[in-house]
Chain A
């Protein structure tokens, strides 16, 4: 589904991603872990199409297409979803209106009829219940005045409604209390399926107790320094990242030269 080959990306001449290679197949759940500043969020935003990154080397192939050549909205319509680490507040636009506009843009792209407000409400009601989204929250402006937990839940709710094929979750677990973490995890697990791939970008191992990944990758200094199964996450939990960062040093200087 997704093939990242030797991806290098910079912001203002600073190279953040220094050669990422990663292959993700449908049905798989990958966790990308790493210390702060390792490039996790950059990777997530490069995949979603945020402006401001220069791709200096490499390519990303999604479902046989050149992902990096697509606008963010085209990627979304083709099934790429990024749950933001810091969801943006949108004044004056209700959560309901926003999400329906998003869903209809995607449906239109696939030649489906647009949903009116009534049909949309019918469709989302169940998903709202599952994620504990209050209907009043739906009528409030997008993320405005939401607590941290509500914002994260709202991201997962959007994912549940938009049903992406490739979901990238950027630190969706950070700042959640244990109850919220359970609800959010349940929402993620519900979306696991043979046709969908999920990428969990996280700093902590905690989320992985609830959403058990098939693969774990460690990102350090813009490169994947180690990959393994779910047990790698436990190892990181015990030992921290330091031992991996040390081993990444030579690689870093190698790139600089």
Chain B
């Protein structure tokens, strides 16, 4: 029996244990309405059993080998209230900022909602809760949208997430509400053993509403673990959604994340994807522009060193006419790091007047770093504006000389230029707290300690 098959079997056995655990929970609580979801869960595990973990023979996984994930015996853990203290959380820069600022905070530890660490007061009209309880209470939005957007028929990791779905965030902003403060979702792992978590979030932004949502993935402590996240976002008509996904997992982490977005007419969705940590990282972002006049911006930055591997797959699906998409992904790769960018823009037959621009730019800081960049345009309409491009380069030595000729040391000059390369991605971020934290993190990483940034 191969390692991958063995691992698949292990997940199936784990699923049986999960079902028993859930059945036990259900027996204790007579007031449940989630039979429909348990059926979906079974379908998902069935599909995962058929698909297994993807191999590099699949075009979508050609450059990312997930054998290391498949071979590790990762287990889900049960909720532990003592998993993390709020003191520890206060040391995490962004979490700390979220504590300080007026912001709705929901914290998940190893995939489980932690009420002690989460905000108690939420703005009026905002529904922000644990998805587990939303499923249990049969929130209408859940039944309408959960697992309706992120399909698992051809996505093994989504199938796995759906099968093992225990918790995550459920956000519902009703029609016509403009949230002033961002919603901060913290997913923290405590990997004292090889744990797997499958956080699942459902974010529904009503018509004419506006919200900023930050997802932050990180760990407290060392050790290998596996995060397999899925987020579904539904942007209503004329809504404005500013979504951040920050990945700063530890050096041994495996991180696979799927973000699936559905946009209605005239909605405006911005996604910032920042990948700093992890050993093996895969981000799948798919946006369906399914209403006239919808706009999306995908803004990505990946920084990898040592033997890190980061793979970003994005799909922008122009379904309806008069939609616009802007995509800029930038990568900075050092040592023997490797990265993949695969950006696909699909223009359907009816999507006339599509305006799509895509760009992927990479900075290689060493001879050993590699990037596989593949922009793809699939155009089935005739009156559209589409462009794409990829650049791969090194630091400009004339620029290094110019900075040095002004007294700036060589090492600092190189880190400043590298930071400058990343900066146009950061400058697109509207949330200052997030931007400043990232600027500091990036400068510190580039120059090994020095980190002083002012807003401008």
Contact = CB atoms under 8 A, between A and B. Distances in A.
A219 to B, nearest CB: 21
Contacts of A76: 404-407
Contacts of A82: 405
B410 A93 contact: no
Nearest to A93: B420
A51 B401 contact: yes
Interface string B355-398: 00000000000000000000000000000000000000000111
Nearest to B402: A88
Contacts of B421: 91-92
B82 interface: no
A72 B403 CA distance: 9
A153 to B, nearest CB: 16
B422 to A, nearest CB: 7
Given A90-B420, A101-B416, A84 B410 contact: no
A77 B419 CA distance: 23
Given A51-B397, A72-B401, A77 B407 contact: yes
B412 interface: yes
B449 to A, nearest CB: 15
Contact of B408 (A51, A87, A89, A105): A105
A92 B419 contact: yes
Contact of B417 (A93, A96, A105, A139): A93
Given A51-B397, A93-B417, A93-B420, A73 B408 contact: yes
A101 B419 CA distance: 14
Nearest to B420: A92
Contacts of B422: 92
Interface in A86-114: 87-94, 96-99, 101-103, 105-106, 109
Give 9 closest A-B pairs by Cβ, nearest first. Answer: A92-B420, A92-B423, A76-B407, A102-B406, A93-B420, A88-B402, A72-B404, A105-B407, A73-B404
A141 B416 CA distance: 12
Nearest to A108: B407
B409 interface: yes
A222 interface: no
B405 to A, nearest CB: 5
A141 B406 contact: no
A71 interface: yes
18 contacts: A48-B405, A51-B397, A71-B404, A72-B401, A76-B404, A77-B407, A89-B399, A91-B420, A91-B423, A92-B422, A93-B417, A93-B419, A97-B456, A98-B408, A102-B408, A105-B406, A105-B409, A141-B420
A103 B398 CA distance: 20
B121 interface: no
Contacts of A141: 420
Given A51-B397, A92-B422, A94-B456, A72 B416 contact: no
Contacts of A105: 406-409, 412
Interface in A41-97: 48-51, 71-73, 75-77, 81-82, 84, 87-94, 96-97
A172 interface: no
A88 B424 CA distance: 18
- Which secondary structure characterizes the binding site on chain B? helix
B454 interface: yes
A117 B455 CA distance: 10
A185 interface: no
Q: Which of B404, B413, B416, B427 has the most CB of A within 10 A?
A: B404
Given A91-B421, A92-B424, A139-B456, A101 B412 contact: yes
A53 B145 CA distance: 66
A158 interface: yes
B406 A93 contact: no
Interface of B: 396-399, 401-410, 412-413, 416-417, 419-424, 427, 454, 456
Contact of A73 (B396, B407, B417): B407
Q: Which of B407, B408, B454 has the most CB of A within 10 A?
A: B407
Nearest to B427: A92
Q: Which of B404, B406, B408, B410 has the most CB of A within 10 A?
A: B406
A61 B193 CA distance: 64
A139 B456 CA distance: 7
A19 B103 CA distance: 69
A162 interface: yes
A129 to B, nearest CB: 20
A184 to B, nearest CB: 18
Contacts of A72: 401, 404-405
Given A48-B405, A98-B403, 5 more contacts: A72-B404, A73-B409, A92-B424, A102-B403, A162-B407
Interface in A2-18: none
Nearest to A118: B454
A104 to B, nearest CB: 9
Contacts of A98: 403, 406, 408, 416
A71 B402 contact: no
Contacts of A92: 419-424, 427
A105 B411 CA distance: 12
Contacts of B396: 88
Contacts of B420: 90-93, 141
B405 A87 contact: no
B402 A87 contact: yes
Nearest to A138: B456
Contacts of B412: 101, 105
A50 B396 CA distance: 14
Contacts of A93: 416-417, 419-420, 423
Contacts of A50: 401, 405
Contacts of A49: 404-405
A91 B424 contact: yes
A96 B416 CA distance: 13
A117 B419 contact: no
Contacts of A88: 396, 398-399, 401-402
Contacts of A97: 454, 456
A72 B413 CA distance: 12
Nearest to B453: A97
B260 to A, nearest CB: 31
